[in-house]
Amino acid sequence: MEILISGAGIAGLCVALALKQRGHTVHIYERAKPHSSVGAGISLWPNAIKALDQLGVGGVVRSSGTSNLSGGIFSATGRLLIAEDTAANDARYGAPTVIIHRAVLSDILLNALSQQPQYNTTVTDYTQDSNGVTVYLSNNTTVHGDLLIGADGIHSAIRQVWFPHITPRYAGYTAWRGVCYFDHNRVGTRWGEWLGAGQRFGITPLKNDAIYWYATQNQPANQFIAINDRQAHLLHLFADWGVQVPAILAATASAAIMQHDIYDLPALPYWIDNRVALLGDAAHAMTPNLGQGGCQAIEDAVVLAKAVTTFNDVPAGLQTYQLARKSYVEAIVTKSRQIGAVFGINNRWGSAMRNLLLRHLPPKMSQQQLHPILAHEV
């Protein structure tokens, strides 16, 4: 089959790889220029690593990232609320949790594909009939294929044509992310997430003594801090958060700090229309609270490629893909939003109560939240 893919993010590259490995010809169109991957890390949980194993890149992802993170969830003052050691995941789920730089992940997927996306090319429209799909590109050319995959992210143009009235929902907080060099021994066994009142800070290790961190703050949408002021702004916001948090911020150049408001998508009426399918954030953008948005996109890719290949019939294969994925992933979107509401409690009293509850939560109960997602195999 000739398969057209809009978007070369995690979803687009993974589905291209999964389809190419099954003998299909793929064409990837990417609006951005090459090497525009964001300077941040990503956590890939065991469910995603097992899906990446099926794509043949699980080994190189493992060796290019870090795993075995000791720490957990802490209060803003550094008190341990829930202990977590991801070293146990390998034994429990058959794969580790890997933290990897996004640019490194993207390079691994591109190398495995041994094919470049067509960059600086936006998919502007499409038409379809029973024989195939015609896609219109921003360079005024048209291309034809058997299947169009909209892996074009949370603002998916294809989804907006289907559902112009459905828009992403603001989650009530903004997120800053950065990567810096910082001696890992200074963090020791205190990796993970720190919770305050309406503020959170996450610290994860990358290779070569680099650190990927994120910070969130509850606030109205669209209040962006000028890039050169971000470090000072965050140093002020997180000034009294123990020793590591301000030190990590101080080690990050302001110009290297990204800010994005956090949105997710309400459940869509459908993800497929005959020969066109949505995949990844285009179908189910979620808040980052479970670290599953990218992981679920990787799972989608494997399921979609298997389904269209097994049926050798695009509409039937896409029906199977939707059946396997839609309600399953939408439940994760809901769970992620709920966790965000609890972890992001705004007032001091509420957040103190939350911390007390978390501290007394039996370890089994906190694991139960994640267990079915991490154990999932596609």
Ligand X SMILES: Cc1cc2nc3c(=O)[nH]c(=O)nc-3n(C[C@H](O)[C@H](O)[C@H](O)COP(=O)(O)OP(=O)(O)OC[C@H]3O[C@@H](n4cnc5c(N)ncnc54)[C@H](O)[C@@H]3O)c2cc1C
Cα–Cα–Cα angle for 45, 294, 73, nearest 5°? Answer: 50
Q: How near is the Cβ of 168 to ligand X at its closest, in Å?
A: 11
Residue 296 or 355: the one with the smaller Cβ distance to ligand X is 296
User: Min. distance of Cβ 153 from ligand X in angstroms?
Assistant: 3
* Long-range contacts, stretch 221-225, CB < 8 angstroms, 24+ apart: 221/170, 221/174, 221/261, 222/261, 223/174, 224/174, 224/259, 225/259
Closest CB 376 distance from ligand X, rounded Å: 13
Residue placing its CB nearer to ligand X in the complex, 169 or 311: 169
| 3-state helix, strand and coil shares in percent for the chain, rounded to the nearest 5 | 40, 25, 30
The least distance separating ligand X from the CB of residue 279, rounded to whole angstroms, comes to: 7
Q: Looking at beta carbons only, is 11 or 81 nearer to ligand X?
A: 11
Provide, rounded to whole angstroms, the least separation between the CB of residue 81 and ligand X: 20
Q: In what order do the strands lie in the sheet with 123-129?
A: 123-129, 132-137, 142-145
Residues that bind ligand X (CB under 6 A): 6-12, 29-32, 42-43, 122-123, 151-153, 157, 175, 177, 214, 260, 262, 280-281, 288, 291-295, 297
- 16 or 76, CB closer to ligand X? 16
The CA–CA distances, whole Å, from 334 to 110, 206, 346 equal 32, 29, 20
Do residues 251 and 182 lie in contact, with contact meaning Cβ atoms separated by under 8 Å? yes
**10 vs 112, beta carbon nearer ligand X:** 10
SS3 222: coil
Nearest distance from C-beta of residue 305 to ligand X, angstroms = 15
The string over 163-202, giving b where at least 16 C-beta atoms fall within 10 Å of a residue's C-beta and e elsewhere, is beeeeeeebbbbbbbbbbebeeeebeebbbbbbbbbbbbb
Q: Which residue, 177 or 354, has its beta carbon nearer to ligand X?
A: 177
